[in-house]
Amino acid sequence: HTGEYHDLIGSTNDRAKELAANKVPEGFLVSANGQTAGRGRFGRSWNSPPGQGLYFSLVLYPSLPPVELPRLTLLAGLALAQALENLGVNVQIKWPNDLLINGQKVAGILTEIAAEAERTIYAVVGIGINIEPLDEEVKSSFAYPATALKEHLPGVSRQSLLAMFLERFEKLYEEFKKGEFAQSLTEYKKRLAFLGEEVMIITGDREYIGVLHDLGEDGSLIINDGNTVKRFAAGEISLRR
Ligand code: BTN
């Protein structure tokens, strides 16, 4: 793998986008020990104190229409889930992009793309993993309960986690480029959080409530509210208690 490491950077996603615009090779990795302007989904910030977590971004050039790119987030989530399982921890995936341990968030994924009409110019897949046990301030900055990997695997090595993730992701991405997404989706669904449970999904400025029924073959979320079955390409879900 080619890549660059930063002790401290604004955001590895921003740096990866800059490099992608300059056509660095596919698979280029930008990693950092800390970020001063780490970003999450929905314009949230991603708290990234030096040494606290694993922060990295991958540059990709998938020749796919932009509408199919949310699938990359699912692939990255699955690859990370498999990497974590390999290290001995059980995880669930909160659609589309959060990794959970015992219902608490351990990692998030932010996929960003540049597109022109129907053509994708590049995609950047950014991943943040909570590694060191979190202090209360950071914990409360998450939208729902968070955890850190070392609370479950005290001796975990960042290096091996990253290497394992890259190995898994590369394999899944190669299959994906050949049009083999169904197998990955099946694997993803095995780890899907809240399946069969009542959830709320927020998308844009609307909310829906229903039972998380399934995922579509395109990776969309299928919710059944008792009367109708609705599909969502994007959104944020939470469990209704
Ligand atoms: C989320 O859960 O909302 C997604 C969080 C993604 C955070 C990672 S950390 C590395 C990369 N650089 C960023 O600025 N964000 C992503």
Is 38 a pocket residue for ligand 1 (Cβ < 6 Å)?
A: yes
Ligand 1: nearest atom to the Cα of 105? 2
Mutate to test the pocket of ligand 1, among 15, 17, 55, 74 (most ligand atoms within 8 A of CB): 55
Ligand 1 centroid from CA 40, angstroms: 5
pLDDT of residue 135: 79
User: Complex ipTM, two decimals?
Assistant: 0.99
Task: Specify whether the CB–CB gap between 220 and 192 falls below 8 A.
Answer: no
Nearest alpha carbon, ligand 1 atom 7:
128
Closest Cα partner for 149 from 105, 208, 97?
Answer: 105
Global confidence as pTM: 0.95
Q: At residue 16, what is the residue type?
A: A
CB burial readout 65-90, b (16+ within 10 A) else e: ebeebbbbbbbbbbbbbbbbeeeebe
Task: Pick from 57, 72, 110, 130 the residue to mutate for probing ligand 1's pocket: most ligand atoms within 8 Å of its CB.
Answer: 110
* Residue 143 CA neighbour count, 13 Å, CB half: 16
Going from the Cα of 227 to the center of ligand 1, the distance in angstroms, rounded, reads 36
Q: Is 11 in the pocket of ligand 1 (CB under 6 A)?
A: yes
Mutate which of 4, 8, 13, 60 for ligand 1? The one with the most ligand atoms within 8 Å of its CB, which is 13
Instruction: Return averaged pLDDT per consecutive 10 residues of the chain, 241 residues in all.
Output: 94 98 97 97 92 97 89 97 96 96 96 92 97 83 85 94 97 93 96 97 93 96 95 93 72
Distance 74 CA to ligand 1 centre (A): 15
Give yes or no for residue 12 CB within 6 A of ligand 1: yes
